[in-house]
């Protein structure tokens, strides 16, 4: 089945540093979503991307939908301790894969922030 390759698997950074993570796939997606998950909680939507090349910001978060429709990145600027958590990319194949709308998730990037 389709897979998303998310990297890095984990990051341990100092407070104030910028963070970058990305997802790639051999499949074409029509939607990319980025979620954050805290321990024992459900994924919380951070950013949604719908058009190839689209660059969207949400506060200190910026994400882009790759031109090829096969990748996306998420940047976090000036990290703070509450950014700690696991970040997941999720793609929706849509018409490109005959999907009815379900999301395919990456394996997550675990972010740790040192004060």
Partner 1 sequence: EPEVTQTPSHQVTQMGQEVILRCVPISNHLYFYWYRQILGQKVEFLVSFYNNEISEKSEIFDDQFSVERPDGSNFTLKIRSTKLEDSAMYFCASSEAFQGAEAFFGQGTRLTVV
Return residues touching partner 1 (CB under 8 A).
Answer: 30-31, 33, 35, 40-45, 48, 50, 88, 90, 92, 94-95, 99-108
How far, in Å, CA of 24 to CA of 2, rounded? 11
DSSP-assigned letter for residue 27: S
How far, in Å, CA of 104 to CA of 115, rounded? 33
Residue closer to partner 1, measured from CB, 2 or 77: 2
Nearest distance from C-beta of residue 104 to partner 1, angstroms: 7
Nearest distance from C-beta of residue 15 to partner 1, angstroms: 26
The two structure tokens encoding residue 32: 């990319």
Residue closer to partner 1, measured from CB, 2 or 75: 2
Nearest distance from C-beta of residue 71 to partner 1, angstroms: 17
How far, in Å, CA of 8 to CA of 82, rounded? 19
């Amino acid at each position: 089945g389709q897979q998303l390759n998310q990297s890095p698997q984990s990051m341990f950074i100092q407070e104030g540093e910028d963070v970058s993570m990305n997802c790639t796939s051999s499949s074409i997606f029509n939607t990319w979503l980025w979620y954050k998950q805290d321990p024992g909680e459900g994924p919380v939507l951070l950013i949604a991307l719908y058009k190839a090349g689209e660059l969207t910001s949400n506060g200190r978060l910026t994400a882009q939908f790759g031109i090829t429709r096969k990748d996306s990145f998420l940047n976090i600027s000036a990290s703070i301790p509450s950014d700690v958590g696991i970040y997941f990319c999720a793609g929706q194949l849509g018409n490109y894969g005959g999907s009815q709308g379900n999301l395919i998730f990456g394996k997550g990037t675990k972010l740790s922030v040192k004060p």
